[in-house]
Chain A
Amino acid sequence: MKNVLIIGATSAIAQALARQLAGTGVSLTLWGRSREKVEIVAADLRARHEAKVFLEAFDFTDFTQHAGALDRTIATAGEMDVAIVCHGSLGDQAACQADFAVTEQELLTNCRSALSFLTLLANRFDAQGRGTLVVISSVAGDRGRQSNYVYGTAKAALNTFTQGLRNRLYSRGVNVLTIKPGFVDTPMTAHLKKGFLFASPERVARDIVKAIENRKCVIYTPWFWRWIMLLIRLIPESLFRRLKL
């Protein structure tokens, strides 16, 4: 792993990832929406680790900018070994229910923009015949629940899409890795009451780096979510519909 692209580089998990990777001497390209914030993250990585850092700032929901950003990145930083799609938002479920425009916005942020990035990156990695494509999804995509099924829908679509990509790119030597974090203590979950299930972004980032190195397909992080979600998926729908989840 020498050249890494992080999309949504100002998220807490992305920042923890970038710090861990910068410490290993890789060069990083950071994409974010706010130039001001991406520059804060980039300056920090340079000061901490003397890392080589490039950055791009643009509106992720403007699909017309995606291809140009990738071309510029490869022109300046070279071919990518790893690309990690981290951006997202935890929308307000109640607002989504009340107004489809909000739902549409959530799907745009958490799913459609990511699918556009993945399409471009998949074709690029397919052509170069190597690389690792990482997507940060969520345990929320494993089953629809009344408390956040819009977010869950976006993540479920991502899961299916990456599953297909993994199947498509395997023979090309490209690994596609889906990350399913549980609760992570980040600005995105600042409004939630914190319990013992919450993990730090650093912990999640460590799991992700390990999974990249070991060429995993799907990981839950922290590990116990694999078993929690297994139980949740096993509940029959006729019973599940009665639960307040």
Chain B
Amino acid sequence: MKNPESWGRYPKATHSIRRLNWRTDPLPKSEGESILPFGLGRSYGDSCLNDGGELLLTRALDHILAFDMERGLIRCEAGTSLEEILQVIVPRGWFLPTTPGTKFVTIGGAIANDIHGKNHHRAGTFGCHVTQFELLRSDGERLACSPTQNPSWFAATIGGLGLTGLITWAEIQLRRISNAMIEVESLKFANLDEFFAISSKSDEQFEHTVAWVDCLAAGASLGRGIFLRGNHAGPPNQDLQLHRPSRLHVPIEFPDFALNHFTIQAFNTLYYAWAGSAVSRKTVHYDPFFYPLDSLNDWNRIYGRRGFFQYQFVVPFSSDQRAIREIFARIAASGQGSFLAVLKTFGTRQSPGMLSFPRPGVTLALDFPNQGRGTLDLFAELDRIILAAGGRIYPAKDARMSARTFQECYPCWQDFRQYIDPSFSSSFWRRVSSPD
């Protein structure tokens, strides 16, 4: 195992490493060091890091306990990846209840970050579909958790950033599919008003909706982009073909200057132009629809040695969407920002998770190459706009928000603290729970 790092490759951290091989094994005795479970390291910032402490690798916990093919219930160990689960469920006519933009996350990570996907407006978060799990505490106690059994531990652990103990296994309610295909429509929109118009109509008719936005376009084109919406294809097609493994790798770490204002702007302009006609329809396999970046392993290396930030927030709906406009204007003016700005509306289905990120409103996620001070200053500015609008920032993507910002975003953090296992900690948690 290489030295574990987070997906954004920032910040750097040093750990002692242990691995857990069986879910029936006790947690290793920590010698004064705090521990943190580590799965596939797809959290972007430092929520999966424990600098100076111990990481407990969970990938060997990849056994499936049971799969009820009639009811679509799968019970598996927490280190099992979504990719591995798809291999089991798709050929039998089931799909994940919701999925993030990569299939290379573990079940434990999906619960700990209470992840969401393109169907949040219908399905809510991943935690909404977790029927039960086992939580192993450092004192050896094993808590069976469900909405009715130990419900407060259930709530604290969903979105609990791996701090409440080790999830050893979990049971997930799956979604029926008749085939592996998605019927997709893509629509160009010229600005933010058009986005909101398309989005509110699409959310009623489409299970999956998301938009790519050119965050460097300014003025009249502010917020232009491409809207993607799709539904699982219905019968008569019964082809439950699985995704193929991807073999493409980024062979080298790109130099830090490879991604700059000009290369990104050129990419965005071309991408928008190449989308061609205003509306296009096609039927595609779930793999390119949900996981376009999974076809390129280690894509995070294109951001170079200094790594990158992802910034994701949600702000509640408002009549004039002022906060979103202001944020787009700031990003465009700063000249920073990235290929991959993703805009989506969250629905009203509430997660059981106490510290869960999604709430009704508009969410935007963007990558920023790490350009040091300038990037951090921009984020601080954006934080202020988001807090003023009553929004919040996503811990799974964060490497830099201040303790005060976090505490304002998640007022229940004080209440959450009682559920943290005394032997568990993370770089993220030490950062955001410290007094400012």
Contact = CB atoms under 8 A, between A and B. Distances in A.
- The reply to whether chain A is a binding partner of chain B is yes
A47 B21 contact: no
A40 B23 CA distance: 9
Nearest to B17: A190
A43 B64 contact: yes
Contacts of B63: 40-41, 43-44
Nearest to A40: B63
A237 interface: no
Given A47-B88, A48-B88, A194-B1, A37 B22 contact: yes
Contact of A47 (B22, B24, B64): B64
Interface residues of A, number: 13
B60 interface: yes
Interface residues of B, number: 16
B19 A36 contact: no
B2 to A, nearest CB: 7
A40 B22 contact: yes
Nearest to A44: B63
A40 B60 CA distance: 12
Contacts of A44: 63-65
Nearest to B2: A194
Contacts of A25: none
A187 interface: yes
A48 B64 CA distance: 7
Given A37-B22, A48-B88, A185-B1, A43 B60 contact: no
Nearest to B61: A40
B66 A47 contact: yes
A185 B59 CA distance: 12
A47 B19 CA distance: 24
B175 to A, nearest CB: 18
A43 B66 contact: yes
Contacts of A37: 22, 24
Contacts of B87: 48
Interface in A27-85: 36-37, 40-41, 43-44, 47-48
B292 to A, nearest CB: 25
| Majority secondary structure, A binding face | helix
A43 B1 contact: no
Interface in B42-89: 60, 63-67, 74, 87-88
A43 B65 contact: yes
B436 to A, nearest CB: 40
A61 B1 CA distance: 32
A57 to B, nearest CB: 14
Residue among A36, A43, A185 having the largest count of chain B Cβ atoms under 10 Å: A43
A58 to B, nearest CB: 18
A47 B1 contact: no
Contacts of A48: 64, 67, 87-88
Nearest to B60: A187
Interface in A166-208: 185, 187, 190, 194
B385 to A, nearest CB: 45
Contact of B21 (A43, A185, A187): A187
A48 B22 CA distance: 18
A44 B23 CA distance: 13
A47 B66 CA distance: 5
Contacts of B66: 43, 47
A37 B21 CA distance: 10
Given A43-B65, A44-B63, A36 B24 contact: yes
A48 B74 CA distance: 10
Residue among A37, A41, A185, A194 having the largest count of chain B Cβ atoms under 10 Å: A37
B93 to A, nearest CB: 14
B67 A47 contact: yes
B72 to A, nearest CB: 13
Interface in B1-58: 1-2, 19, 21-24
Contacts of B64: 43-44, 47-48
A37 B23 CA distance: 9
A192 to B, nearest CB: 11
A31 to B, nearest CB: 17
B142 to A, nearest CB: 14
Contacts of B74: 47
Contacts of A43: 63-66
12 contacts: A36-B24, A40-B22, A40-B23, A43-B65, A43-B66, A44-B63, A47-B66, A47-B74, A48-B67, A187-B19, A187-B21, A190-B19
List 10 tightest A-B contacts by C-beta distance, closest first.
A47-B64, A44-B63, A47-B67, A187-B21, A44-B64, A40-B63, A48-B88, A36-B24, A43-B65, A47-B66
Given A40-B22, A190-B19, 5 more contacts: A40-B65, A43-B64, A44-B65, A48-B88, A187-B60
